Amino acid sequence: MNLKKIVLPFGIAAATVFLLASAPANAQATRTWVSGVGDDANPCSRTAPCKTFAGAISKTAAGGEISVLDPGGFGAVTITKSISITNDNAGEAGILASGTNGVIVNAAATDSVNLRGLIIDGGTPVSPGLNGVRFIAGKSLTIQNSVVKNFTAANAFGILFTPSGSARLTIRDTAFYNNGTGGGGGAISVKPTGSAFASVTLSRVTMDNNINGLIADASTTAGSLLTTVLDSSASANNLNGFQLIGGAAQSSMNLDRSASVNNNNGIVSTNGTSTINLSRSTVSGNSLGLSAGGGAIVSFSSNMFDNNFAPSSPTNTKPGQ
């Protein structure tokens, strides 16, 4: 009997079995699932879902997607790669973020993050959440069909978007309420730093009963900040509905078919490099409707300025194009 002929095939077979057994432990899937009755010890497959977003993201490949199977609370998560977290009619997909941030995005300059169908809740005043979504770095962040509420720690925001490199923020069909506390915080803060260029688009977004609605602040960047708001509203906010703060470069905010109503200040443009353009929009019921503050507020056709307690006018009026 030739011993080598027996031992060698056995050794190869053993090595092959070992590699096959160990490969799944290190592999990441392009699509994973979470469930309210899942377990993070599972592989996050369709039939064996995980329990939390944090558990699923470690098993999801860059550029992949985490899908929600059924209602549940899926916990706070830190994102460091391109990823989509989606809930399409599976019931409430909650992130309860008492005392912390709901979602942190700190990814590479080429990474895109998409969040859809989430309820991000800062919890009770006893242990309030810090921010709903805190964006530090990445190429883009898109939020759709979501609710961000109850972030009431000091200077807390529903979305705190502070990229140090150029980045884009897109929010659609999303509601913000009860965010911020005292004299600070609010629904959305965009404040790029360094030499970053930031582009922001809001479509069908409501910002109600916060400290501030939208604050677009270019004071800490050498780059420009371009903001477009379509079919959106800021109402019953304690301080400002929409505010643009200029910086070193020219920055603009375009409000079209939008409303700022029943706030302390309706529309605020601060510093000489900031211009807010209004078209087909309503500014009504505010303590002060328009406040230029060194910046420009340009009114195109079909705007309504009415029932503001302190009369105010745009710095410039232009006909519609």
54 assigned to some structural domain: no
Which of 224, 243, 232, 230 has its CA nearest to residue 207?
232
Q: Is residue 83 part of a domain?
A: yes
- Cβ neighbours of residue 82 closer than 8 Å, sequence gap 6 or more: 62, 63, 107, 110, 111, 112, 113
246 in a structural domain: yes
Looking at residue 188, its pLDDT comes to: 98
Return the half-sphere exposure (C-beta side, CA atoms, 13 A cut-off) of residue 49.
20
Q: How many residues does the chain have?
A: 321
Q: Write phi, then psi, for 117 (nearest 5 degrees).
A: 75, 35
- 45-100 pLDDT, tens digit each: 999 999 999 999 999 999 999 999 999 999 999 999 999 999 999 999 999 999 99
User: Number of folded domains in the chain?
Assistant: 1
Q: How confident is the model at residue 310 (pLDDT cuts 50, 70, 90)?
A: confident
Q: Give the pLDDT score at 216.
A: 97
Q: Which residue has the higher pLDDT, 20 or 256?
A: 256
Q: Is the pLDDT of residue 24 over 70?
A: no
211 part of a folded domain: yes
211-260, pLDDT tens digit by residue? 999 999 999 999 999 999 999 999 999 999 999 999 988 899 999 999 99
Domain residues for the domain of 124 are: 66-317
| 6-15, 159-168, 185-194, 212-221, range with the lowest pLDDT | 6-15
Tell me, yes or no, whether 223 lies in a domain. yes
Tokens of 178: 């009860």
The answer as to whether 61 is a domain residue is no
| Beta-bridge partners for 115 | 85, 143
74 lies in some domain = yes
Q: Name which of 13-17, 103-107, 222-226 the model is least confident about.
A: 13-17
Judge residue 47's burial from the number of C-beta atoms within 10 Å of its C-beta, 0-12 exposed, 13-18 middle, 19 or more buried. Answer: exposed
pLDDT confidence of residue 26: 57
Q: Does some domain include residue 44?
A: no
Q: List, as one string, the DSSP characters of 261-310.
A: ESSSEEEEEESTTEEEEEES-EEES-SEEEE-TBSEEEE-TT-EEES-SB
Write down the pTM of the prediction.
0.90
Q: CA-to-CA distance for 309 and 299, rounded, in angstroms?
A: 19
